[in-house]
Amino acid sequence: MLDSIPPHIKSLLIIGAGPAGYITAIRLAQRGFSVTLVESTHVGGTCLNWGCIPSKALIHASNDYYKIKSKSLASLGIQVGELALDWATLSAHLEQDVQQLRNGIEARLKRLKVNLVKGNARFISPTSVEVQDAEGKSKVLQADAFVIATGAKTLVPQVFQGLDPRFSLSVKEIFSIPELPKRLGIVGAGVIGLELAQAFQRLGVEVHVLDRLSGILPQYDAKLVAILQDKLKKEGISFHFNADITTAVVDEAQNHVTLKITSLLNPEEQQTLEVERLLIAPGRRANTQGLRLENAGVDLHPQSGGVIINDALQSNQPHIFAIGDVTHGHPQLAHVASHHGIVLAETLAGKQNGLDALTQIPAVVYTQPELARVGLSLEEATSKGYTAKVTRLPFAALGRATIDGVSDGQALIVVDDATGAILGAEILSPYADALISQMLQAIELGATVEDVALSVHPHPSLSEAWLEVAERHLGHGIHID
């Protein structure tokens, strides 16, 4: 791989306007570069248009609906009358949120004089890209350097390929379905599958989650995952683990899909499941199809299909960079993609060197409660040679948790025995996305467990979980030994 940035780069062409591409374009324009941004559909990519934003808006709405439907407010003396859900209005609201944010990004790009070109891009040589618009008209564009930021797409297993798209849905279609199904099958018990499973279940849909694995979220702490999985089951979600879906047949007359499932643990154990709609969310793969990267001489990883890059985000071609989900070996997270864009722009402007800043990556599952982690698990710390210890805190020790009715939450920290440094943290809690950020900063700045214990936290707050767990680690817990 090449490490030197080609000199005299003044103009860049970015393919893909998702959270990697449009943020790169903004920062490059701020740094004085001439920028062309090519996008085949909508600015914002999957994250804004069909992923992060509409899914979280749906989750927010489903949580409010669930609080009323489950009568959990009754214990507070809050009585609610007749409850009804208008899916058409909710679906329109999701699109309104997306459109508002999309318009804001496009206006920002225009103010910074980024040349936004709509169409499908493909390389015709290492230095030229052809862009074809929706009407079939083509033009050839050139630049000093190119940035591939086309993200990833849903990986559709063979058994579902060719199914009627009215019944087999991806995240691109699920938010705009004309009406809620009575029974929804979700293929994939990963982050996307779990978030949408809980949201639709809370809106009154009977949800079945199917996965080839034996449980959910193996990358998170097993005890926290067990609490979350138990909660999801109690809300009514049916899990089908170790499930090999051998056939999927659409019956239009009966308005359902029939799945035949064989157990991976016992092939003789089989079952049939009927659902009205299927959401396919087993995973995502780098989106390089149609880019004609062979014409540019760009190397792809044979397994992941992602662009192979070095620490300067360069492909094997020194003037062609790749960022975000389209790259090999990097987490497929929107905030990683955005960070790639900032790092690349600053590197090209001579302000920063490579990926030095990308040392800690927080990850969040936006179920209720949320599950978040950052840094190393105990197993990862041990494998790296640390002598480490994990300390947990049940939320029953927190006054705010009792007030909010979330006493089943939990936090943990992983601490280096030799130095007391915080190595990792996980938390199962409302607002875990915000709460994990304190531990992100602690790890980045090399804080010790004593530093956390000596930091004054507001009371009553859920952030006191970090204070309490630090005190407990040091052997003098305040509200719990």
**Inter-residue contact 323 to 341 (CB < 8 Å):** yes
Is 459 a catalytic site residue?
yes
Q: Are strands 320-322 and 145-148 parallel, antiparallel or unpaired?
A: parallel
* Given 339, 459, 476, 479, the catalytic residue: 459
Q: Across the strands, what pairs with 285?
A: 153
Question: What DSSP string describes 163-226?
Answer: S-TTTEE-HHHHTT-SS--SEEEEE--SHHHHHHHHHHHHTT-EEEEE-SSSSS-TTS-HHHHH
Angle formed at CA 58 by CA 54 and CA 61, multiple of 5 degrees? 140
CA distance linking residue 128 with residue 320, whole number of Å: 11
Residue with tokens 């990697």, as numbered in its chain: 20
CA distance linking residue 80 with residue 270, whole number of Å: 44
**Inter-residue contact 217 to 225 (CB < 8 Å):** yes
CA distance linking residue 130 with residue 120, whole number of Å: 8
Please, which residues have CB within 8 angstroms of residue 140's CB and are 6 or more apart in sequence? 124, 128, 129, 130, 131
Nearest to residue 174, comparing CAs of 156, 190, 192?
192
Tokens of residue 323, six digits: 């960022």
Question: What DSSP string describes 293-316?
Answer: GGGTT--B-TTT-PBP--TTSB-S
Helix (H) or strand (E) holding 449: helix 449-453
Residues belonging to the active site: 459
